Each structure stands twice: as structure tokens, then as C-alpha cells.
Structure 1
């Protein structure tokens, strides 16, 4: 039976054992919002938007860091049958103006003065756009969130029948969100996703089996740092609420290490880059550790590093490594993690092996904004290193051979209830990726093993063709390079050339540490021309 996001969320409230719906860290303190307070605020803000003229089908822009109010605003917009248009916190002002204009947004919500500054030069170009500020008033045309909720509360009291009628009128196939995906060229395209696109995906992930579930881990907390403007984290937040878990939002990734130890979550979603940084950070400290403790730490690190995912950890060696060293690594993540789910890019096998080796189950899924987003996800009882998991129930997946791919590789093509309705006002671009019978062409290259596990090779458009005629997939090479502590970023180039090269962005603090260990004391300005540095990098 199809349902809306509003119905999905309502099913989760009674399952919550903590009484806390969500929390956000402000001024160094966690601000928790109880479930009933949250529900009241959603209704009040929805009616406040109604008072501003928002009706079913209208678009509302939402530009904010991760916070409780992000989801509050989202659910209020959806309660009216309106459409949320999320905007990345880092989006340039010109693109914000384009998105608001292209989506024909009637109201635009901004969290802070800092974020509003990007759009401020373009405000006068959209004179009919109504403005709402979450944390204050940043323009003379702007109302604050509290003011809009106060107006909504009055309207709820005077017109009691409007809000429940608006909620009841929302249908599963109604458009829920327009998510503008950034392309390599031109302005972003608006991906049209319905309530059922997203709900079907959340249900399929829950039925497939996740690292956490209400029965075993109810009462635990979830941590969120990935942008809610991306469908991955938004979908995972709906999964959390509908499963009865409170979500704790980190507005600033710079405080991640402190925040995760305060919250002590049972789960969080991530992109591989965070885990890569954790890995290289631990590696650097372990390599620098002196004496017998350093020798022990390196032994345990190497043991976790060479762990074969899915195999049992038996024997005295594992017990000693875990008690003396690996448990300390787990404490860096708060000590309560049941698992970590990675997405957004391929999770290197070495990182997956290490994380599982230290005792934190870590695996990945695969999907795109256009697929709401999950297409494949790990089997928690049979993890496979390097795999993006198996196909979700209800999703069909096939591989179409491509030029440059090996015999068992092909472009990943999918069909299911989670596939977008198309790109907003862009029928030509929609027809290029979505067939008349519902097959979506992802542009990603992959292969399937005999057990149905999907392995992502690269993006179809990113394959490099050397002058020799050989095709190179750059992503696996780049993923391996950034595992070196001294390398922050890497990009492989060589299209049309005889061989590949790599452009590297160095991790200067790590490099300085290595040079210091070799007996040299250099400043950041001196590091680039020093012969010892060049020799080390070569």
C-alpha cells in the first residue's frame, strides 16, 4: 500500500523510546526537541506558510545547514502538499537565484545571516519572493521563523479544519521535492521526486535489513553531518524518524570528533572521505608512536588493515589486539556504534577492511538523486569488501555493454518505484536518461558477481582513453592514492596521452611530520623546495 512521507513519519513517533525527536548543537550545547513539541511546531509553521499563500503544488526554497528546523520546515511544506526545494549550504548566490527562479518558488527559507549573504545581491531580482529566516531577520522583506509560527498558531486556533484537511489531501504520487543536481557544465537540473519515490525507498531499505533496527537498538541515537539538501541524508533521516530513532545534527563538520564522542551514536551515514581521513590520522599517529607501545599499536593496526571482511576473528591474537589497541580506535567514534553506512562515492576496500577489522561494521550502498536514492545496499550478515551491495526489493537492474568496458562490465540501468519523474521543465534531458518504459540510465559502470553483489567501476563519462587505445578507469587509482597520509586529494589525467599522470594536493601537516621524523625541521614555506621532501614524495 502506497503512503506519503507524512504517514511514514507519523508511524515512527510511537516507536521512539527517548521522547526526543531531534537535536542540534548550538553555542556548544545540544538543543533537544521533544516529539510533541516538534509536531506542534510543524503544524504551526505549515499554517504560517498557508497564511503566506502557500498551497498544494507550490514550491518553497530551503537553504540551511543541518538542524532540527531543516526537517521541521520540510515536513511543514509537505503537510500542505507543497514542494520542498533544498539548496546546499555552499551553493553560490547565482545558482541560488537560478534555482529559486527556475522552480518558481514563492517562499524562500534561509537559516542564517552567513548563508543569506550569498543570495543577498540577487534578492531584488525576485521581488515577489517571500523570505523567512530561521535564526533571525536578515532582510527588511524577511519574517522570522518564530513570527511565521506565531501567525500559524493563531490560524490553527481560528481555522481548526484547514490543517488536517490539507494533510489528508496529500497523495503518495504528489511531487514532494525538487532537488537540483549540479552538473559539470551549465546550471543544475531539478530532479522531481514524489512522496512514494522516497517512501518506497525507505521501506525497501528497512525490509532489506540495516545495521540498526528498532527492536535491538531502540533508544539509541543517530548522528547526522551529511547535507540534508542531498537525498541520501534526507532519506536516512526519514528512515531514522520512521524507525523511532532520534537524530542529532552537526551543523559544522569541524567539530565531528568532539560531537560523536558526546552523542555516542549507534549509527551514522558518511562519505568515504571522512573515513579516509580517520584512517590516515590513525595511521600517522601509530607510525609515530615510540617504544613498545608503538610496536604494539603498529602490530594491531596492521592486523586490522589486513582483515578479510566477513571472516571470523578467532584466536588469541585478535583478542589481545582488540583489548589493548582496537577498542581504543572504536572509542574515537563514541564507543556505541553498531555500524556505519557509506555512500556518495566508492568506499575503498582497504578502508572497509580496516573499519570492520577494528570492530565497527562498515559497508556501502549505491544510488543517485534520480533514484531516491538507494538502488543497492549491503547485506549486513554477509559483507563483501568493495561491493556496493545487492539490489533492493522492487528494483530491477541490468548492465548494458559500453565501449571501453571489460567483458563483464556495463552501464548500470535500473527501473523501480523509486525512479524520478524526470528533470523539471527539461523534457529533452529527461528523455536522454529515462526510457518510455521506465528504465533509467545511470551513467555509472559496474559489474555483478555470481552472488548478485554490485561493484562500481567508474562513471561512463570519466573513463580515460589513452592514445594507445586503452581505456583507464581513474576512480580506483585516485581512491588508492588518497590513502597515502601525505596526499589530501588526487585526480588522474591522461585522456589522449600515452600514459596517465596524477595531480596531487598534498597534506602538508602530515608531510611536515614525516620530514621531522627524518630529522629535518621545516616551515610550510620551506617544504616545497627541500630535496628531502622531493625524495620522499618520489
Structure 2
């Protein structure tokens, strides 16, 4: 058990950082201080009391990144209730199933998400964010809810709400405080029961590294409803007195780069896609020019050119960050290799929702290419289910402070998730070196068995193919004992360069041949099949692989 009480971290932070900015909603250009945020939490506690919410009751929360979203989350867990954050881009059917399955007593939701749901299905109160209007489940009492809250607030704090007034009910670290439903690349979402201790393990580890300091800034553009964005952009940053700048709309590269220029964040938490797109669209065309290739063969010039590229990339991302932490998915080998060559300050971590989420991490100074960092010392342990864990890939299994309690109302799935001796099965294949560093090879469920029994990891082939011209996304499947690449083309790049679909087949064949040169014989792509429709994806932007593997498993 982590020694520090998780909820008390926020009591301390709110008191000590009372006058500092806690959140800025970049879409609205409005800022909320830590003190104002603490007052919002108390108002929500009063609302919960008026609505008859008890400790351990479930509260559903659906919406984009916003200060109001953060307030509901923090008010729920400091009250002793259980938050159920639901990704706003889940399918409406999934949202409805989660609300029903989680036994939510209240729903907080933004207007766009509410419009997509069937209002007739809900008998519990539904409150809109950020305007706090009761939009369903109204009665004579709730009609005057805002007035009741303000009256009660004034009566409890006649001299105003002060830092010394912050005192939350006791919530022990072993208490479940969140049901985080997985996005599901293999089927129905499961409700991951995360405890205060699970989150404390992540937050305390980050605090130990001083990734962020009081008064520094971060741009939160990953969905905070997802474990990765929640733990670091939100919970860790809020415990450290950081100014969190929230991007609450669909994030394009231009919007994100504009935000970085405005905020100049001290740390960047991201998924691989952002850096991959910059590499693919901006850097690759430059370094692939024949003249540039010639210059890069001269060692002195290569150092100068790489230094200039590194500086321009750092400036493009705000110019003020200590490092870029990449997680949430596998990174393209080519992009990773190039960023290492130019000594760009980035690192890749590894985790999963069931670990809230962190399992391994290295600072950029210690990062080893193709790895996902070292298993968190003193917090997590890992082992590989293979005869030679440092050479032969096997399932990564973990245990420690960050590991979930299980899946809500799903004992069968919980039992299947753990080994008989209590280790969590991650479902990922990897190796663990003698320095306790993890190297991910792929997912057990996606591994393809070659004709002669070789293990083929389709993700490794896909990351290479995704960096080729006119490829937006790809998926490697096995069909009649051959590897087939399903490719959704980059139609924007095609339009920019005047390429039609009829001209695409020979280009894709060239891509195939180039990629095959870098692969073992048993990994060779037999042919490319171009798709005109995008792949179905999860909110985490992972392809729902099972839809295509099952469809083509002949």
C-alpha cells in the first residue's frame, strides 16, 4: 500500500496553491484558481447531499476535457463516491450500456453527448456540464437546486470558504474510487475497478521524478476520461500545483501546435500519432531528398543538420519542455529511430487501464531505443511467461500497487485476468532485460503463427507500412497462409499530389517491396489490398482488429 493517502494529496495541494491558476479552458480562455476549484468541489458535495448520494454510489461523467469535468471527477472521489468517466466518443450504445452496467445514480454529461443518447432510458437525474442545468429527472426539489446549493454554501461558510475549510471525508487508499471502462479492441467494454491506491502509485511515482513543479504548465489534450490522460495530465498535475490548460475539442495538428506556442508547456504527454505525423509529413520529405541524403553522409554536416532539425522541432512544440512522454500505443520504428538520431528529448512508457495506467518508464536521458522503459521501482513488478525472459517473448505479467481490484460485476473476466499466483495478465508479448527494461513485441491475440511456427507480430510490420507514401492506416492479416496488408490510403496526400485510386496499386506494390526489404522472409507481405473505407476504431484510435481478422481468417 502506498503510504501517502491519495485524497489528502489534494487537500494539501488546494490549500498550498490556493491563489495559483489550476485550469484554463483554452476554447473559452477562462481560468480557474485552485481556491475557486476547491469551492466548486464543495458546492458539488452539497448537490450530492441534496440528491441523496451516499459513499460508494456511482456517478457517471461524459464530456470533453473541461474544468467542469474535472470538478465532477474530483468532487466525486473526495466525497467517497465512485466516478465512472465515459469517453465522449464512445458509441451511444456503449455509453448507455456502461451507464446501466455501472449502476450510476447521477449522470453528468455535455450537451453533444446527451443528444446522441435515448433520453427515455434514464430515470436518474441528468445534469449538463458546463452549465449545471438539470436536463432530466427533474422534480420540485431539483428545480431550485442551484438556489439550495448557494444557500447551504453561505450558511456553512458565513465568513467565506478558506483554505483551512478544506477537509474531505476519509477515503482509504484501498477504496475503489473509479470504474474506468475499457475501449475494447476485442469486444464489450469491461469496468476496471481502480482504487485510490492505484492512482496514488502513479502520482507518487511522478512526484518522485519531479516531472512537473508548482506553477509550471501543461496542455491536456488527451481525453481525461482515459486512464493515461487522467493520471498524468490531470491527477498528477493537480497534486503538484501545475497550471493545466485544457483542450476540449477535436485536436488537429495545427490546433495542438498553436496551443503549444501559446502555453509553452513544461512537459508534453502524448500518444505516438502526434510525433509520427510530424515525422511523416514534415521531416521525412526533407531527409529523403537526394541532396540531403548526400549531406547526411558527411559526419560533421550530419551533426549540424540533426541539431537544426532537433531545435526546430523543440521550438514547434513550445520550446520549454523537459521531455515528451509517449504512451498509449506502439510507436513507428522509423519515427522512433530518427528522433533518437537527432537526440530529441522523448521517452516511451508502457501501461494499461488495469494499472491506472503506468507499468514502466525511463527518463529521456536513460531511454533505450525500442524499449518501453524500466518497470516502476518499488511500485510494480513484472515477469515474462517464457523460458528465456530476456530473449524469448512471452506474456508480460505484472503485480504491484497500480494493479486494479478486478472488473466490476464480472468475476469470470476478473479470474481470467489473473494467474493462479496473483499476477495480472497484460495480454502483451514482450521481453524483460537484465536492467528490468521492457520491450513490447505485440499482443497475444494479434500474433500470427508463420508457416513454420514462427511468431509474427503484425504491429511491427504495420508501423513500417504506415510510414510509406499514401498510407494512412494499415492492418496485417493472414489469408490462405499469406500475409496480406489491408491499407486505407491517405486521400489528402493523394489529392495534394494528383494521384488517383487507379494509380495507387503500383505505388502500394512499391511500398510493399520496400517494407519487405526490412523484414525477415517469414514476415514478407504477399500483397496489398486497398480499402476505400476507414477502419473501425476505438476511442483510443486503435483499429478494432477483431472485425477484420475474423472476417478474413480463411
What's the TM-score, normalizing by structure 1? Answer: 0.84
Give the drift of 1:354. 3.0
SS of the equivalent of 2:223 reads: coil
Residue equivalent to 1:50: 49
Residue equivalent to 2:244: 247
Give the drift of 1:337. 2.0
Give the drift of 1:200. 1.9
> Root-mean-square deviation (CA), in Å?
3.3
Alignment of 1:221-240 (within 5 A): 221-236=217-232, 237-240=234-237
Residue equivalent to 1:65: 64
Structure 1 residues 254-263 or 367-376, which shifts more?
A: 254-263
Give the drift of 1:355. 3.2
| Residue 376 (structure 2) pairs with residue 426 (structure 1) | no
Taking a change above 3 Å as real, the CA distance of residues 203 and 533 of structure 1, as seen in their structure-2 partners, is same
Give the drift of 1:195. 0.7
Taking a change above 3 Å as real, the CA distance of residues 534 and 473 of structure 1, as seen in their structure-2 partners, is closer
- For 2:491, which of 508, 515, 528 is the aligned residue? 508
Alignment of 1:260-275 (within 5 A): 260-275=260-275
User: For residues 182 and 477 of structure 2, what CA distance do their matches in structure 1 show?
Assistant: 24
User: For residues 336 and 299 of structure 1, what CA distance do their matches in structure 2 show?
Assistant: 32
Structure 1 residues 192-201 or 465-474, which shifts more?
A: 465-474
Taking a change above 3 Å as real, the CA distance of residues 530 and 376 of structure 1, as seen in their structure-2 partners, is closer
Structure 1 residues 436-445 or 16-25, which shifts more?
A: 16-25
| Residue 118 (structure 2) pairs with residue 133 (structure 1) | no
Alignment of 1:203-222 (within 5 A): 203-207=204-208, 209=209, 212-214=211-213, 218-222=214-218
User: For residues 326 and 535 of structure 1, what CA distance do their matches in structure 2 show?
Assistant: 33
Give the drift of 1:138. 8.1
Taking a change above 3 Å as real, the CA distance of residues 246 and 358 of structure 1, as seen in their structure-2 partners, is farther
What per-residue deviation string (whole Å, max 9, x for no partner) do you get for residues 90-123 of structure 1? 1112111111111110100012x2121221x2x2
Stretches of 4+ aligned residues off by more than 4 angstroms: 13-18, 145-150, 163-166, 314-317, 356-359, 529-538
SS of the equivalent of 1:461 reads: coil
Unaligned stretches of 5+ residues in structure 1: 307-313
SS of the equivalent of 1:462 reads: coil
Residue equivalent to 1:34: 33
Give the drift of 1:453. 1.3
Alignment of 1:131-210 (within 5 A): 131-135=127-131, 137=133, 139-141=135-137, 151-159=148-156, 167-207=168-208, 209=209
Residue equivalent to 1:459: 443
Taking a change above 3 Å as real, the CA distance of residues 468 and 358 of structure 1, as seen in their structure-2 partners, is closer
SS of the equivalent of 1:418 reads: coil
Residue equivalent to 1:482: 466
What's the TM-score, normalizing by structure 2? Answer: 0.81
CA contact (8 A) 1:17 1:244 kept: no
CA contact (8 A) 2:212 2:242 kept: no
SS of the equivalent of 1:172 reads: coil
- For 2:327, which of 343, 346, 353 is the aligned residue? 343
User: For residues 411 and 203 of structure 1, what CA distance do their matches in structure 2 show?
Assistant: 27
| Residue 331 (structure 2) pairs with residue 331 (structure 1) | no
Taking a change above 3 Å as real, the CA distance of residues 3 and 151 of structure 1, as seen in their structure-2 partners, is farther
CA contact (8 A) 2:82 2:179 kept: yes
Give the drift of 1:183. 2.7
| Residue 352 (structure 2) pairs with residue 355 (structure 1) | no
User: For residues 73 and 146 of structure 1, what CA distance do their matches in structure 2 show?
Assistant: 20
SS of the equivalent of 1:94 reads: helix
User: For residues 126 and 66 of structure 1, what CA distance do their matches in structure 2 show?
Assistant: 24
CA contact (8 A) 2:469 2:511 kept: no
Residue equivalent to 2:89: 90
Give the drift of 1:329. 2.5
SS of the equivalent of 2:29 reads: strand
CA contact (8 A) 2:448 2:458 kept: yes
What per-residue deviation string (whole Å, max 9, x for no partner) do you get for residues 187-230 of structure 1? 311110111111122212332x36x342xxx5331111111111
Taking a change above 3 Å as real, the CA distance of residues 80 and 283 of structure 1, as seen in their structure-2 partners, is same
Unaligned stretches of 5+ residues in structure 2: 159-163, 513-554
CA contact (8 A) 1:387 1:455 kept: yes
Structure 1 residues 15-24 or 481-490, which shifts more?
A: 15-24
